[in-house]
Structure 1
Amino acid sequence: MADASVKKSPLGFWSSSSHRHSPVEDVQGIAAGSMLAALGVTMLAKAGLLIGGTAGLGFLIRYSTGLSFGLVFFVLNLPFYWVAYRRLGPAFTLKTFAAVALTSGLTEILPGAVVFDHIHPVAAALFGGLLLGTGMLALFRHRASLGGFGILALYLQDRFGWRAGFVQLGLDGLVLALSFFVASPYVILCSILAAVTLNLTLAINHRTDRYIVR
């Protein structure tokens, strides 16, 4: 007997249940999460701010070399896909690859499509951090991510027993420490505010015991 909780679509590919997203829902969720994340990155970049993770490392390379953030962010994430495949499976890896590629592409397009004449660093930290966190939250709920240090932290926890949270914190702290070479103390403080806003958004809203759809 078919699961009564599954809602069939006349198109046949929009079948979902209370425990599983449909392919169409996954596509929409990954697209929406990537769009929000890219807009958040655009706001942070306009104010010259940084963030933790591979996005923060991408900002550091962009500010110090002038290279495209989208290209740098995409390349930085390439080594993590093998870890993601081994640790979290092919579906997660493919979705994450799609999210990173889309976010990278959008960060190249948005500065010409959404133009900010001026944005205060504190406003950029709050709104950019919130948008980036909300985008990541949408991706998490569709079993995807923006790649990077989070995947590595999970792998190191499994391989060596290191606490993933402490590994993530250490790597993010290293990125912010390196930012002293390319940014002023005020910019660094605003960047820390952006990181806090992002992580609070995730910590408060991402609860696997409340949201169990896969």
Structure 2
Amino acid sequence: MKKILNILLGCFLASVGVILLKHSMIGTGGTAGLSLSASYLLNVPFSLVFFLVNIPFYVFSVLRMGWKFTISSIISVTLLSLMTSVTQWLPAFTLPIWFGAIAGGIIIGLGLSILFKNGSSLGGANILALFLQKRYNINPGKTNFIFDFMVVMSSMYALGITRGLFSILSIAIISKVIGYFKNEYANKDKTVQPKTSTDKFRVTPQIPVTR
């Protein structure tokens, strides 16, 4: 139950971050960035594009990460798609691009960190990042940044140079947040020393009582 609540929290935070980016008219990386750029160009809902773009990545996830992780990721992507769809009922408003880049980046980074910790992702580059961390112990924040940077650079046509640069700022912040919490979890794991097999059977010697 706790894991389910954490996944819901991670999706909620990520959706808030995406909404901030969308109302700042800037993008981000990964499949979310591709979906935002497509929604700007085609004038279609982000939630629909985001769900469809992630479908090919599920095949890789099934082959490399297993069904349990894939199903969890599909649920997370679906939840994010549903949560971000509330923008159509929100009043129209515009946020400063610097605010959207910083606040959106921090909130999305927190959301992704919670999802990663609970064995889930938001598809796309997240799946690749977790696979490389699992197989080669590569920092997922760095993997996300490289992939996201390429996405943002290719989407500058839809965003323009200025907004593209602020998009790079947002993915840099996301990468830092993910990398920070990845290191925090690693440090906590090191401080928790597992019991040895003999610890389970260790008996405290009884001190004889002299009369």
- For residues 121 and 107 of structure 1, do their structure 2 counterparts lie closer, same or farther at Cα, with a shift above 3 Å needed? same
> Pairwise mapping of residues 20-35 of structure 1 onto structure 2 (< 5 A)?
24-35=1-12
Partner of 1:117: 93
- Measure, in 2, the Cα distance between the counterparts of 1:82 and 1:142: 21
Structure 1 runs of 4+ with >4 Å offset: 153-159, 163-170
Spell out, residue by residue over 1:51-109, the C-alpha distance to the aligned partner (whole angstroms, 9 max, x if none). Answer: 11111110111111111110111111111112112212222111111110000111111
Q: TM-score, normalised by structure 2?
A: 0.78
- Measure, in 2, the Cα distance between the counterparts of 1:157 and 1:211: 17
Identity in percent: 30
Partner of 1:210: 187
- Measure, in 1, the Cα distance between the counterparts of 2:41 and 2:169: 22
Equivalent of residue 52 in structure 2, options 72, 75, 99: 75
Specify the structure having the higher radius of gyration (Cα): 2
Partner of 1:140: 116
Q: 1:42, 1:111 within 8 Å by CA — same for their partners in 2?
A: no
> Pairwise mapping of residues 168-179 of structure 1 onto structure 2 (< 5 A)?
168-179=144-155
Q: CA deviation at 1:49?
A: 0.5
Q: TM-score, normalised by structure 1?
A: 0.77
Q: CA deviation at 1:158?
A: 9.8
Partner of 1:56: 33
Spell out, residue by residue over 1:139-195, the C-alpha distance to the aligned partner (whole angstroms, 9 max, x if none). Answer: 011100111023246668999x9x897875553233112222112221111111111
Structure 2 alignment gaps of length 5 or more = 190-211
- Whichever residue aligns with residue 148 of structure 1, its letter is G
Q: 1:34, 1:102 within 8 Å by CA — same for their partners in 2?
A: yes
C-alpha RMSD of the superposition: 2.5
Partner of 1:9: none
- For residues 138 and 211 of structure 1, do their structure 2 counterparts lie closer, same or farther at Cα, with a shift above 3 Å needed? farther
Q: How many residues align?
A: 186
Partner of 2:202: none
Q: CA deviation at 1:118?
A: 3.5
- For residues 26 and 184 of structure 1, do their structure 2 counterparts lie closer, same or farther at Cα, with a shift above 3 Å needed? same
Does residue 200 of structure 2 align to residue 196 of structure 1? Answer: no
- Measure, in 1, the Cα distance between the counterparts of 2:130 and 2:113: 17
If each structure's helix is expressed as a fraction of its own residues, which one has the higher value?
2
